[in-house]
């Protein structure tokens, strides 16, 4: 496992991060605590040091499972969590107000059983709370030693840039990491965000790197997914729905992915992850493995090196249509 700087900091994170969104999730789709514990141990033994959680995952249960699993190995980890979404029924148990931020961090620290959060994300924009209020609360948490670094997720580009500008103007702790959906079948962020991250020294931490499992190679053109998979269970119109994934461009991308995989004796999942690791500003890619077998497969991406020609072929076949004004913005300056 290789390590990369997270943004402009001196903090090093493993190129593959362990996602925990379905740890503790009920209804048969989640990973139970015992299995999750084995997966965390395997990930750490493979050299991984970056575990990603959110307080909303499984209603807080994911944080509890991770905390229990890493007891005794906490110092090996860069532990990330996120806040913004509802954690109760009350009117102040949601959002990015100082009230909810402070309460959420204290609750996360208790669930995880730790004295600090290494990386804390705003999990989405809150139109009701001034960014100045949120960033002041985050900065106070850093000053108190309860949080070490700050990140952003699911903001529009102008919202993220505004937050970074406020932090710089007011002397608050800057944003150094950003979590966004990014894969060979979801490249929308390239229009605005890659340039923003490069300019502001923010490390990109992609989630959904396999497009909800579409890039694993288990689907074929003309098929419909069976129930129980992430794509099958997602309503049409949502990010990882079958309607959004089963397009001509995505089928062509999957075919090229399988060709490259065969050339390396690898799996399509490993090639999809390796492609992301070669993209600009990417610091660490979040693995969304549900089972130990999926995790083992994903970890193999750390050993895979794609040629420039293979990267270019995958980039070309998966490239989305150019949109205005980016057709103009992205032209050479001279």
Q: What is the pLDDT of residues 276-303, one digit of tens each?
A: 999 999 999 999 999 999 999 999 999 9
Q: Is residue 173 part of a domain?
A: yes
Cα angle value 147/11/154 (rounded, 5°): 60
Is 334 domain-assigned?
no
Q: Considering the domain boundaries, does residue 220 fall inside one?
A: yes
Cis peptide bond N-terminal to 325, omega within 30: yes
pLDDT per position as a tens digit, 302-315: 999 999 999 999 99
Answer for the pair 222, 205: CB distance below 8 angstroms, yes or no.
no
For residue 255, is it within any domain?
A: yes
**What residues does 83 pair with on adjacent strands?**
122
> Residue 137 falls within a domain, yes or no?
yes
Decide: 9 and 50 in contact? Cβ < 8 Å.
Answer: no
β-sheet bridge partners, residue 31: 23
What one-character DSSP code corresponds to residue 150? E
Task: Provide the domain count of the chain.
Answer: 1
Contact 205, 175 (CB under 8 A): no
**Over 60: is that where the pLDDT of 242 sits?**
yes
Strand-pair category, 3-5 with 12-14: antiparallel
Q: Which tokens in the block code for residue 114?
A: 């730790």
What average pLDDT does this structure show over 154-174?
Answer: 98
Cα 231 from Cα 314, distance rounded (Å)? 22
- Mean pLDDT of all residues in 234-242: 59
pLDDT tens digits, one per residue of 28-73: 789 999 999 999 999 999 999 999 999 999 999 999 999 999 999 9
Q: What is the CATH number of the domain that holds 150?
A: 3.20.20.100
CB neighbour burial string for 134-160, b if at least 16 within 10 angstroms, e if fewer: bbbbbbbbbeeebbbbbbbbbbeeebb
57, 149, 180, 219: which one is catalytic?
A: 57
Confidence class for position 76, pLDDT limits 50, 70, 90: very high
Domain around 101: 3-329
With both helix axes pointing from N to C terminus, report the angle between 33-45 and 61-69 in degrees, rounded to the nearest 10: 50
Question: Is 165 inside a domain boundary?
Answer: yes
* Element holding 285 (H helix, E strand): strand 285-287
Contacts 24+ apart (CB under 8 A), 39-43: 39/289, 39/292, 39/295, 40/66, 40/69, 40/70, 41/69, 42/292, 42/295, 42/296, 42/299, 43/18, 43/295, 43/299
pTM exceeds 0.85, yes or no: yes
DSSP state of 10: S
- Does the annotation mark 57 as catalytic? yes
């Amino acid at each position: 496992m290789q390590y990369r700087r997270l943004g402009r900091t001196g903090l090093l994170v493993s190129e593959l991060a362990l996602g925990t969104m379905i740890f503790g999730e009920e209804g048969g789709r989640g990973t139970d605590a015992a299995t999750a514990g084995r997966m965390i141990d395997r990930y750490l033994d493979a050299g991984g040091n970056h575990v990603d959680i959110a307080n909303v995952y499984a209603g807080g249960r994911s944080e509890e499972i991770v905390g229990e699993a890493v007891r005794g190995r906490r110092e090996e980890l860069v532990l990330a969590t996120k806040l913004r979404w509802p954690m109760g029924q009350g009117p102040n148990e949601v959002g990015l107000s100082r009230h909810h931020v402070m309460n959420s961090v204290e609750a996360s620290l208790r669930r995880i059983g730790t004295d600090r959060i290494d990386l804390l994300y705003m999990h989405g924009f809150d139109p009701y709370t001034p960014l100045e209020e949120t960033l002041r609360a985050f900065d106070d948490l850093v000053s108190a030693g309860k949080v070490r670094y700050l990140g952003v997720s699911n903001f529009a580009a102008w919202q993220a840039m505004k937050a970074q500008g406020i932090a710089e103007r007011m002397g608050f702790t800057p944003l150094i990491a950003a979590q966004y959906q990014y894969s060979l079948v979801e490249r929308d962020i390239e229009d605005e965000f890659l340039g923003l991250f490069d300019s502001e020294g923010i490390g990109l931490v992609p989630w959904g790197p396999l497009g909800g499992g579409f890039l694993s190679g288990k689907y074929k053109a003309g098929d419909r997914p069976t129930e129980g998979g992430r794509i099958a269970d997602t309503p049409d119109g949502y990010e990882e729905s079958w309607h959004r994934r089963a397009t001509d461009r995505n089928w062509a991308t999957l075919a090229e992915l399988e060709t490259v995989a065969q050339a390396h004796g690898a799996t399509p999942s490993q090639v999809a992850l390796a492609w992301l690791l070669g993209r600009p500003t990417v610091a660490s890619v979040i693995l969304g493995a549900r089972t130990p077998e999926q995790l083992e497969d994903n970890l193999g991406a750390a050993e895979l090196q794609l040629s420039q020609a293979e990267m270019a072929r995958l980039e070309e076949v998966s490239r989305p249509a150019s949109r205005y004004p980016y057709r103009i913005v992205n032209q050479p300056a001279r």
